[in-house]
A and B are shown apart, each in its own frame.
Chain A
Amino acid sequence: MQVPLLTVENLSVRFNMPDQVINAVNGVSFSLNTGETLGIVGESGSGKTVTVLSILGLIPKPPGEITGGRALFEGQDLLPLSTEALRSIRGQEISMVFQDPMTSLNPVIKVGEQLREALWTHNPSDSRSNHRRRGVELLDMVGIPQPERRYNQFPHEYSGGMRQRAMIAMAMANRPKLLIADEPTTALDVTIQAQVIETLKAARQETGAASILITHDLGLVSQIADRVIVMYAGRIMEEGRIGDIFSRPRHPYTISLLASIPSIQQRRTKLYSIPGQPPDMANVPPGCPFHPRCAIGGDRSACRSDSPSLLDVGAGQRAACHFTDEAAIWARERGT
């Protein structure tokens, strides 16, 4: 049995706002093996981003507060670490690529300088010219043409796709063991998205890093992740291998989500649409948070009163639903 690279146990995070408390993450547990790619899928407000930002101590405190849980990275719990102690993890062991490449690079500092800084902060003894050489190499590795010239340019002189490549170069600079990409292609055009995904895959292969891909795009996850976690209202609804989740989903939320994406293959007469509105995170429904929008559990008292725990439904697949069997039948009938 392999020891996981990262194990998150029962992580709970809340934001204490002046007029309300938002329970952004509620008892999330998962693990990730070396070299593996985990997808975290969910809609806005599902807690997917907060989960990973908390692991690296990147949520603003206050108002953010980690109320419980552990995050073991190579056996060490990251949550109680001081900012100074986390610093040697960030960018060195675990690095991140963010959603919006337009705002994620500092506009007044040259790209090369920002790249060099990532190298320098973890290897201060190495010479400036070495950092520079490595920086140019990294730009070249992520497919930026004329890396020598580009090294000395400011972010606004880059296109959106190139900025995201530069972010990836920065993230891979110290050959991290884990790369976290938060919606890395959402802000980009379709053809550029495909390029960036290839760059990410190549960078991952080059360094053998494990990765976590956070996205709302089920199609994207299906293409590059080994396993996937589906989140809703700060909880994990379902977890499993890509093939299982996409062909044999057991949670009504996963099933509904899959049924509501249009397919390019054929025009479906009508999409399934999940009724109702996304949950108000300051007022999450009691019991299963998805029950008011669920086609199966809607009126059942079990769903309204008891929050289902994440249980094995076979072959490493887990689902948090009282009626996974009925859900599976419903999925087959829908033909998703």
Chain B
Amino acid sequence: MKTDAARKPILDIRDITTSYHIRRSGAQKATTLVAVEDVTLSIKPGETVGLVGESGCGKSTLGRTIIRLLEPSAGMVSFAGQDITHFNHQEMRPLRQEMQIVFQDPYASLNPRFRVRQILYEPFRIHGISKAVASQKIPELLSLVQLPPDSLRRFPHEFSGGQRQRIAIARALALEPSFLVLDEPVSALDVSIQAQILNLLEDLQTELGLAYLFIAHDLSVVGQVSDRVAVMYLGRIVEEGPRDAVFNSPQHPYTIALLSAIPDISAAQGQQTRERIILTGDLPNPLDPPSGCRFRTRCWRGDQLCVDQEPPLAPVSDSLVACHYPGPEDSGARS
């Protein structure tokens, strides 16, 4: 465990709400989609917090709000002790060196007409760092992400998906940030390449003391890299806690269902596995979330209380859980 309780968080967000105004074709009025609601989270230096959830749960929106690519409609974001909630573009500039984001699709996030050298030079140019310093740093970045030195002369299309993701990581590391948002960094990659990138990210963290917010829909990947894990459902965090607590004794029914839905190879290897819980129904429309607990429409524990009252995120054993009836699943449960 790399966390140190005494250290101050590098990132601290309190009661963040982020909404979009969307206009559907034909509709006269714009509707408000609350993508993230009342989220509180903190990340310490050198720590990895995993953020999991299915599509539309708001995890990417949260990531973008944290590094202030989006402005929250309520709440507070503070970075390294500084309140940056309402920083404008100009005020954010010096902070951009400290916080970077790596996106899912290494094909779309690298300019196809730039050589790798130019791609890696961009961050230096934007922040007005001299070419001399940059040209000294660029080869170092390349070796940091374990790409051969001759890569500099080549274009993104000459690389495989995994190598492109390495280039994207190198670019994010150029200005020596202390915090990275990794938004589905390995979901576009093949299994064998995924392991390479995960290992690289862990090595970089040990070497440079980076803090990560690791956003992914794949629980096993999140479980591999995270110190703490937060599970989101329809814009809210439903469970948050240390990695082992969340994975080994999940308390929220959604977390339990999510974990049991992962096809695991251990059965085929003769080990014992959990009973499968198959959730019924689809995700509710985020424009019109259910009253009370948002998960109640797919939950097997719910009753009238869940319809009436939104459960607060409250401590349950080692974790924080937003459920009126938290607790591990009994063996005789519905499957």
Contacts and interface: CB of A to CB of B under 8 A. Distances in A.
Q: CB atoms of A and B under 8 A apart anywhere in the complex?
A: yes
A264 B219 contact: yes
A6 B259 CA distance: 36
Contacts of A258: 265
A209 to B, nearest CB: 21
Max chain A Cβ within 10 angstroms of own Cβ: one of B55, B193, B259, B263: B263
Interface stretch (B17-25, B112-120, B149-157, B220-228): B220-228
A128 to B, nearest CB: 31
Given A262-B198, A262-B221, A271-B199, A277 B163 contact: yes
A270 interface: yes
A257 B196 CA distance: 12
Interface in B255-304: 257-271, 276, 278-280, 282-283, 298
B282 to A, nearest CB: 5
A275 B199 CA distance: 12
B160 interface: yes
B194 interface: yes
Contacts, number: 133
Interface in B218-257: 218-221, 223-224, 243-244, 247, 257
Given A194-B276, A247-B270, A271-B224, A43 B190 contact: yes
Given A247-B269, A261-B220, A268-B224, A274 B262 contact: no
A260 B220 CA distance: 11
A189 B55 contact: yes
Contact of A260 (B194, B261, B268): B194
B9 interface: no
B224 A192 contact: no
B6 interface: no
Contact of B262 (A43, A190, A277): A190
A256 B217 CA distance: 24
A222 B259 CA distance: 16
Interface in A132-191: 159, 161-162, 189-191
Contacts of A192: 54, 282
Given A44-B190, A262-B223, A270-B199, A189 B265 contact: no
Contacts of B262: 190, 219, 264
Contact of A272 (B55, B195, B259, B283): B195
A190 B258 contact: yes
Interface in A193-230: 193-195, 197-198, 216-220, 222-223
Interface in A226-270: 242-243, 245-247, 256-258, 260-265, 267-268, 270
B310 interface: no
B199 A273 contact: yes
A189 B54 contact: yes
Contacts of A44: 190
Contacts of B278: 191, 194-195, 198
A118 B278 CA distance: 30
Contacts of A245: 268
A270 B191 contact: no
Which interface residue of A218, A246, A271 has the most chain B CB atoms within 10 A? A271
B45 interface: no
B191 A195 contact: no
Given A44-B190, A243-B268, A260-B191, A274 B224 contact: no
A246 B268 contact: yes
A247 B192 CA distance: 19
B268 A195 contact: no
A261 B265 contact: yes
B203 to A, nearest CB: 9
B264 A264 contact: yes
B192 A256 contact: yes
B170 to A, nearest CB: 17
A159 B261 contact: no
A34 B190 CA distance: 32
A274 B265 contact: no
A278 interface: yes
Nearest to A46: B190
B98 interface: no
B247 A218 contact: no
B202 interface: yes
Interface of B: 54-55, 160, 162-163, 190-196, 198-199, 202, 217-221, 223-224, 243-244, 247, 257-271, 276, 278-280, 282-283, 298
5 contacts: A161-B282, A195-B280, A247-B270, A261-B191, A263-B266
9 A-B pairs with the lowest CB-CB distances in the bound complex, closest first: A219-B263, A262-B224, A222-B268, A260-B195, A246-B268, A273-B195, A189-B54, A274-B192, A43-B190
Interface of A: 43-44, 159, 161-162, 189-195, 197-198, 216-220, 222-223, 242-243, 245-247, 256-258, 260-265, 267-268, 270-275, 277-278, 293
Given A243-B268, A264-B219, A278-B190, 11 more contacts: A190-B218, A190-B262, A191-B258, A222-B268, A223-B267, A223-B268, A257-B191, A264-B220, A267-B244, A273-B199, A274-B192
